[in-house]
Amino acid sequence: MPNFPIIDSHVHIYDPGYLTYPWMENVPRLNKPHLMSDFSRLTAEVEVDGIVFVEVDVATGQHLEEARWVALQAQTDNRLRGMVASMPLENGSAVEADLAAYAEIAIARGVRRLIESHPEPGWCLRETFVEGINLLPKYGLTFDLCLFQSQLGEVIQLIRLCPEVKFIVDHIAKPGIRLGLTEPWQEQMRTLAKLPNVWCKISGVVTEADHLAWTAGQVVPYIAHAIDCFGFDRVLFGGDWPVSELATTYKGWVDLVDRVVAGSSEADIRKLYRDNAIEFYRL
């Protein structure tokens, strides 16, 4: 356990009674309010003094409502230091009005649009989507990449088309841990890490294994490989709460990451758990 307060770069809070999240109908354990008070209760064994909210795939057309709701939560809990909102970047230049409105929110830091939800070949390389992503630097916004490992090849192409955008890969690109797959994920992660405008979140990894039967021996090599590729200067800790609760407790996830970085310097551990989140998301 870190001997200092951590900053969690990947937390979801939401209230299905206020906004609509269609995907939750298939995940009943998550289909209920998860608020900052719940986060406090379920992470009490770990000292967390800052979080970054990440969008929760709200229903079409509710993305700005979600961002404004999160901004209201931040007014009563100063741990909410940054936000990554959903924006329909596939609309190309037509999304700019939404980006401008979002950028006015004090804690606006980044944007995410779920590439994993569009498995059809070439979706993230469409001209309008690339155009939308390339608008982000104008508003001081980063882009969170949420994808499956099978999409890594196209995502690498996407990043090369957007050299001015600062990217971060969520959940180490969701490798096929459940099936024990390592290639081409390992090699593609090496390629990804060579791109200087890309960082990586050590988040949401256990949920890519069997939720009920995973072992540390299965998961640890994937975490270690991601850190080895990006180095301690470009990795951020993320809890992926409450999705992570499907497979482990919050403390259990921190303990697993601790196991991987045991023996690393205090400075490097602080980068992973705190300093890099401050730098990447300008907290």
pLDDT digits (tens, 9 = 90+) for 237-251: 999 999 999 999 999
Query: Which residue spans within the chain are E strands per DSSP?
Result: 6-11, 48-54, 80-86, 108-112, 142-145, 167-169, 198-202, 235-237
Say which residues have a Cβ less than 8 Å from residue 79's Cβ, sequence separation at least 6: 36, 48, 49, 50, 51
Q: Which residues of the chain have pLDDT under 50?
A: none
Other residues' Cβ atoms within 10 Å of the Cβ of residue 137:
14
Residue 147: per-residue pLDDT: 97
What pLDDT score does 1 carry? 87
Q: Residues 7, 51: contact at Cβ < 8 Å?
A: yes
Q: For residues 162 and 120, what is the distance between their CA atoms, to the nearest angstrom?
A: 21
Q: What is the pLDDT of residue 254?
A: 97
